[in-house]
Amino acid sequence: MRNKSRWYRYSMQIFFFVFIGMIAINHIFAESGTILFSFIPNVSLHAVCPFGGIESIISLVTAGTLVPKLQASTLVVSALVLVLTLVFGAVFCSFICPLGTIQEWFGKIGRKIFKKRYNRFIPARLHNVLRHFRYVSLAATILLTYNAAKLVFLEVDPYYAMYHFFTDEATIGGLIVLGATLVGSLFVERPWCKYACPYGAALGLLGKISIFKIKRKAAACNSCTLCDRQCPMNIEISGMKTIGHSHCIRCMDCIDDTSCRRNALVYTARKIQETVPAEDQTRTATPAEGGMS
């Protein structure tokens, strides 16, 4: 798990980025009478967007109807992601979401340019203030969508703009936010995820009560803070016993051997049994080893 989780995640990221892109392109061309991929259902991104389920839930309960443009399938997808999050945490953000993936790709460029300064441009005090804004974004999106009975968030949605930037369906606001997000990713890792994503805010709150969490074995940890520096979401992992932070996206980067060489971090649903690593145990000589005859 420690050595292969990163490659599992990269493979899933590429798969979903391409697959969702094919869905979007297929639907765009289908509107002009051309089907590019016959093995993919002709549906819009609204039909497979899990955030649409959250946007529609109040409207569905109070009025018995979905928000316009959304389909019943979005409720199914949203329910699946909900279950996934309650079991494994916010893995949707790090393994599946295409917008999170493209931010990481731009981040790799930024990391090559700025080296150790990358993802350290925003002071910790300011970061701790900004990270709460995504909850404001979540509340505002739900409230405005309910009052307007339409997809208000679509006007600034970078995810939708990313797959429709070459069509007239992409809004100016969405393209501006997308551009700002990608440029920001050259300096700060996953800026949209950290500070603005309403869906990430919802999944982060659910992830706090997930069954599986990343846990730190205090007895094995030497407080080197490598995990803190590796965390894309700027979580101070070295000071926690259980990493139940609402910003944790379960990317597993902190668990990787390049971040923690002492196996002090594990992803598990079980209670951690503290044991002192063999190299830290004081070796006591027996009479036979002490040279006594």
Q: Is residue 168 part of a domain?
A: yes
Per-residue confidence at 111, pLDDT binned at 50, 70, 90? very high
Q: Is 17 a member of any domain?
A: yes
Whether residue 124 is contained in a domain is answered as: yes
Query: Does residue 57 register a pLDDT over 60?
Result: yes
The C-alpha angle with vertex 21 and arms to 37 and 68, in degrees rounded to 5, equals: 95
pLDDT of residue 263: 86
pLDDT in tens, 149-178: 778 888 999 999 999 999 988 999 999 999
Packing angle, helices 51-63 and 198-207, rounded to 10: 90
Q: With respect to residue 228, please indicate whether it lies within any of the assigned structural domains.
A: no
Range of the domain at 151: 5-207
**Residue 40 counted as domain residue:** yes
Examine the pLDDT at 90 and tell me if it is beyond 80.
yes
Asked if 251 contacts 204 with a C-beta cutoff of 8 angstroms, the reply is no
Q: How far is CA 239 from CA 64, 130, 157, 220, 235, in A?
A: 46, 21, 35, 13, 9
In a domain? residue 126: yes
**Angle between the 72-88 and 51-63 helix axes, to the nearest 10 degrees?**
120
Instruction: Tell whether 195 is covered by a domain.
Output: yes
What band does 276 get if pLDDT is binned at 50, 70 and 90? low
Instruction: Report if residue 50 sits inside a domain.
Output: yes
- pLDDT, mean over the chain: 87
Among 271, 236, 232, 272, which residue's Cα sits nearest to residue 252? 232
- Domain tally, the chain: 1
**pTM recorded for the entire structure:** 0.87
What's the confidence (pLDDT) of residue 290?
Answer: 40
